[in-house]
A and B are shown apart, each in its own frame.
Chain A
Amino acid sequence: MTHLVYLIAGWGITFVACGVYAMSVMRRSRRVAARVPVDRRRWMTAKDADQLGES
């Protein structure tokens, strides 16, 4: 196979970057969710959601 180093770099960077990003989103969400009341954690279940987001 030609250009093997380029293939590993291109595919590797793409998968690793997406994986790291997804993990960071999950980790941040766990940390932030601890500070938010349970009934406010999801848009779908938050009462008056449209007004809540404004300040």
Chain B
Amino acid sequence: MSESPTSSKTSRLLGVAVALGAIALVLLAFIAVEPDVRINAETGQEIGQFDAVRLLFVHVPAALIAYLAFTVTTVGSAVVLWKRSVWWDVVAGASAEIGALCAALTLITGSIWGRPIWNTWWEWGDVRLLTTLVLFMLSLGYLAVRRLEGTATERARRSAIVGLLLFLNVVIVNRSVEWWASQTLHQKSTIADATIEGNTLFTLFFAMVVGVGAYVWMMIHRFRLAWLERMSDRFGTDDLLAARRAEADDHARIASAVGGTSPEGESS
């Protein structure tokens, strides 16, 4: 397979590091971490998440990367509106696409985790689920606005306005379990109050580090692709027009040669 036009020495090194990190994460998550089993003091029964706790090592990083990606998109959108920066417009668009993927993975892995633990795939009354779904839909809206017709500058400005809303929604998603504590099945932060510890806590942090590394790696490639698409829109069209003009000139020459008149003679 030929080398990708979006890869470089740095991206390849980072890619290898992320791949090794992902392998280490699987080993940590499935070997080093014990199942979440506790004993109910009153009934003596075993309670907890059991092995389903291992799903949190993909669910939590997916949510973290979605937050990070949408924050980058909002920062990029603000700079686009403020300074008309092309670089930040490309960054914002690339980050939003990765954020949408991670928001979708957050919803899917959360649903898969919720089925055995909460006995439901989805709960419409849960504010965190709903706000995350709204965030995902908003990111799709942002990507749709980027594809609307218009010049690159017009599209950048329009999408930047939508992009500003993404971070606002990230804050709402993150704070929803505090603001509407009675309307969610989700618990409040378990890292800050140290209810997760030992190998589970270490693996969760490790998963986040690998996740951020994967985000940076994907951003490098997606940014370069977005730049290529932008250049293709500009130079690709120019090249096409030049080819069509040359083709039309050829036809005119042939027609005039058949008619016995040179094109130069016609034009003069």
Contact = CB atoms under 8 A, between A and B. Distances in A.
Interface of A: 1-4, 6-7, 9-11, 13-15, 17-18, 21-22, 25-26, 28-30, 32-33, 35-37, 40-43, 46, 49-55
A25 B104 CA distance: 18
B105 A30 contact: no
Interface residues of B, number: 52
Given A14-B62, A40-B231, A53 B112 contact: no
DSSP class of B's interface residues: helix, strand, loop or mixed?
A: helix
Contact of B153 (A9, A17, A41, A54): A54
B247 interface: no
Nearest to B240: A35
A7 B55 contact: yes
A14 B218 contact: no
A43 B218 contact: no
A50 B54 CA distance: 45
Interface of B: 2, 4-7, 22, 26, 35, 50-52, 54-55, 58-59, 62, 84-87, 89-90, 101, 104-105, 108-109, 112-113, 115-116, 151-153, 214, 218, 221-225, 227-236, 239
Contacts of A51: 86
Contacts of B7: 26
Contacts of B231: 36-37, 40-41, 46, 52
Nearest to A40: B231
Contacts of A33: 5, 228
A30 B51 CA distance: 42
B15 to A, nearest CB: 9
B234 A52 contact: yes
A25 B101 CA distance: 13
A11 B22 CA distance: 11
A10 B112 contact: yes
Given A22-B221, A29-B6, A2 B52 contact: yes
B235 A37 contact: yes
Contacts of B109: 10, 13-14
Nearest to B108: A13
A8 B91 CA distance: 33
A11 B58 contact: yes
B153 to A, nearest CB: 5
A4 B22 CA distance: 19
Contacts of B2: 30
B86 A6 contact: no
27 contacts: A4-B51, A6-B55, A6-B115, A7-B51, A7-B54, A10-B109, A11-B26, A11-B55, A14-B62, A18-B105, A25-B6, A25-B222, A26-B4, A29-B221, A29-B224, A30-B4, A32-B225, A32-B232, A36-B235, A40-B231, A41-B228, A50-B86, A50-B87, A53-B90, A53-B227, A55-B152, A55-B233
